[in-house]
Amino acid sequence: MLPKTMLKTLLTVSGAALLAGAATAQTAAPPPSVPQPAPQGGLQAPAPGGAPNGQQGGELVVDVVGGIAAPLGIAVPTMPTSEAVDTPAGRTDVLGAQLSKIITTDLRNSGLFKPLEAGLKPVTVPEVTAPTFEYWTGAGASALVQGYVRATGDGTLTVGCYLYDVTSRNEIARQGFVVPPSDWRRAGHKCADMVYSKLTGEGPYFDSRVVYVSETGPKGRRIKRLAIMDQDGENHRFLTNGQAIALTPRLSPDQRSIVYMSYLNDRPAIYVYDLASGRQKLLVANNDLTFAPRVSPDSRWVLFSMARAGNTDIYRVPLAGGTPQRLTQSTAIDTGGTYSPDGSRIAFESDRSGTQQLYVMNADGSQQQRISFGSGRYATPVWSPRGDLIAYTKIGGSFRIGVMSPAGGNEKLLTDGSQDEGPSWSPNGRVLMFFRSTGGGSGKADLWSVDLTGVNVRRVPTVLDGSDPAWGPLRP
């Protein structure tokens, strides 16, 4: 089992703390042209497990310990606009409705919130900073997210985002986002991130992208294309045309490149795809099979596997290219290397014991030690961005997604599908995306996500079928 504190997302909004926030002194004034940051001394969400002692009454608690979710009732009404104006992203009043939908979907998908389905009322611009708390209490909301949209003279959009505690009638946080029209959805994700992190104490993750392999076609001849999309499946873009099989992409932490494997010219090898230019280049110029690329946390190195004369070992090479440096020396299959968040350690899989198992070593390849000892095989380790867990694929008849401590032990299986493979962490280390294959003749696979409770399992929408998801970092 995981330590309880790790899974516990405790939300405490105490009246006393809110009063100290003083932000509630505002009366029904129109929103400022650009919302000011929440005043210092405003409520800080407690650290996980660090709930104030002895506070019983008046607390809002989101408690997901043991996988029994008690999602928080939250209202996200349509964001009004003072003047409906046409923009390249659409009319501002339409955008207001869509933004509240983006925020609603993000919060619902986290499994920690229960957005109001009915009883949402229209909100006026002055009401954004002076909510009608009586109404929202009656509607069953414990928290309230309001905001507004405005087209600015310079062609940008301004989105204000306000979070209120309905019970104590206080403002918890506010933020303003100025975005180019092409990035309008990101304002919604940023707002949802503010709400999520304020109320749960966890890091944000909604404003992030996923690179993955888009699949279609019959099982014997799947067409596999490199693709990128927002975490919620929107803004989807194909990056390769499907003529060559594309596999196992990873977004570099600096979000400038994608490393992935391609069968271009029938020479399976790792390529570095530059997102700005759309150009790609071979990572290692030789005839050997190179695969399983992972970028180091500082975006300077690529950890990868290379097969030479039938033997696969782990190497690293500068992302810019250079001479590979060998890190493992065994005659076994050593692959799936993944860096710890500080770059000092590497987890990988090896069948040197006879079957696939998980190992850790220093970044220079020294001090290799096995960490998985359960029954069955273990594959595709991924180090959590929080550093506290390693996710993996557990093979024991079926494929399932699990997590364990980097020192070994504390194993927990999170999914129960028969063919779940290849987990990838959300930027805050609380959610895993993976792919689930359908057995039999279809060859179909889809993207799914599961949180650390194992309860909140859901399919991630994709244009076609999908596999090999890699969740990128939070966008700046």
Partner 1 sequence: MAKVTTSILIATALLATAACSKKRPAVIPPAPSGTAPVDPNAGNTGAIVPGSRADFERSVTSNTVNFALDSYDIDGSARAILDSQAAWLAKYPNVTVSLEGHCDERGTREYNLALGDRRANSAKNYLAARGVAAGRISTISYGKERPIALGSDEQSLAQNRRAVTIVLN
The single residue among 54, 220, 278, 476 that binds partner 1, judged by CB under 8 A, is 220
Q: Is 476 exposed, middle or buried (0-12, 13-18, 19+ CB in 10 A)?
A: exposed
d(CA 456, CA 68): 10
Question: Considering beta carbons, is residue 109 or 305 the nearer one to partner 1?
Answer: 305
The single residue among 81, 100, 158, 248 that binds partner 1, judged by CB under 8 A, is 248
The single residue among 64, 172, 292, 382 that binds partner 1, judged by CB under 8 A, is 292
Residue 328 lies near partner 1 (rule: CB under 8 A): no
Question: Considering beta carbons, is residue 130 or 332 the nearer one to partner 1?
Answer: 332
Question: Considering beta carbons, is residue 231 or 312 the nearer one to partner 1?
Answer: 312
Residue 469 lies near partner 1 (rule: CB under 8 A): no
Near partner 1 by CB under 8 A, which window of 120-128, 199-207, 260-268, 407-415?
260-268
Residue 289 lies near partner 1 (rule: CB under 8 A): yes
* Minimum CB distance to partner 1, residue 473 (Å): 22
Residue 356 lies near partner 1 (rule: CB under 8 A): yes
Contact criterion met (CB below 8 Å) for 393 and 421: yes
- x-or-dash pattern for partner 1, window 364-403, by CB under 8 A? ---------------xx------------x-x---x----
Positive or negative: CA dihedral 237, 239, 243, 245 = negative
Near partner 1 by CB under 8 A, which window of 138-146, 194-202, 234-242, 440-448?
440-448
The single residue among 83, 117, 154, 266 that binds partner 1, judged by CB under 8 A, is 266
Residue 420 lies near partner 1 (rule: CB under 8 A): no
The single residue among 193, 207, 230, 468 that binds partner 1, judged by CB under 8 A, is 468
Total interface residues for partner 1 by CB under 8 A: 43
The single residue among 118, 153, 221, 323 that binds partner 1, judged by CB under 8 A, is 221
Residue 216 lies near partner 1 (rule: CB under 8 A): no
The single residue among 307, 413, 455, 464 that binds partner 1, judged by CB under 8 A, is 307
Question: Considering beta carbons, is residue 8 or 400 the nearer one to partner 1?
Answer: 400
| Secondary structure string (H, E, C) spanning the chain | CCCHHHHCCCCCCCHHHHHHHCHHHCCCCCCCCCCCCCCCCCCCCCCCCCCCCCCCCCCCCCCCHHHCCCCEEEECCCCCECCCCEECCEEHHHHHHHHHHHHHHHHHHCCCEEECCCCCCCCCHHHHCCCCHHHHHHHCCCEEEEEEEEECCCCCEEEEEEEEECCCCEEEEEEEEEECHHHHHHHHHHHHHHHHHHHHCCCCCCCEEEEEEEEECCHHHCEEEEEEEECCCCCCEECCCCCCCEEEEEECCCCCEEEEEECHHHCCEEEEEECCCCCEEECCCCCCEEEEEEECCCCCEEEEEEEECCEEEEEEEECCCCCCEECCCCCCCEEEEEECCCCCEEEEEECCCCCCEEEEEECCCCCCEECCCCCCEEEEEEECCCCCCEEEEEEECEEEEEEECCCCCCCEECCCCCEEEEEEECCCCCEEEEEEECCHHHCCEEEEEEECCCCCEEECCCCCEEEEEEEEEECC
- Provide the 10 A C-beta neighbour count for residue 189: 28
Directed axis angle between helix 92-109 and helix 184-200, to 10°? 40
Question: Considering beta carbons, is residue 67 or 218 the nearer one to partner 1?
Answer: 218
* Minimum CB distance to partner 1, residue 250 (Å): 12
Residue 218 lies near partner 1 (rule: CB under 8 A): yes
Which residues from 30-89 bind partner 1, rule CB under 8 A?
A: none
- Provide the 10 A C-beta neighbour count for residue 323: 8
Choose among 466, 352, 360, 448: nearest CA to 401: 448
Residue 179 lies near partner 1 (rule: CB under 8 A): no
The single residue among 54, 153, 278, 440 that binds partner 1, judged by CB under 8 A, is 440
* Minimum CB distance to partner 1, residue 264 (Å): 12
Question: Considering beta carbons, is residue 444 or 475 the nearer one to partner 1?
Answer: 444
Paired sense of beta strands 72-75 and 143-151, if any: parallel
d(CA 318, CA 371): 28
Question: Considering beta carbons, is residue 243 or 355 the nearer one to partner 1?
Answer: 355
The single residue among 171, 193, 230, 349 that binds partner 1, judged by CB under 8 A, is 349
Question: Considering beta carbons, is residue 164 or 315 the nearer one to partner 1?
Answer: 315
* Minimum CB distance to partner 1, residue 451 (Å): 22
* Minimum CB distance to partner 1, residue 380 (Å): 6
Near partner 1 by CB under 8 A, which window of 129-137, 143-151, 171-179, 212-220?
212-220
d(CA 458, CA 215): 19
Residue 170 lies near partner 1 (rule: CB under 8 A): no
The single residue among 437, 449, 456, 462 that binds partner 1, judged by CB under 8 A, is 437
Residues that bind partner 1 (CB under 8 A): 218-222, 224, 245, 247-248, 261, 266-268, 289, 291-292, 305, 307, 309-312, 333, 335-336, 349, 351, 355-356, 379-380, 393, 395, 399, 419, 421-422, 437, 439-441, 443, 468
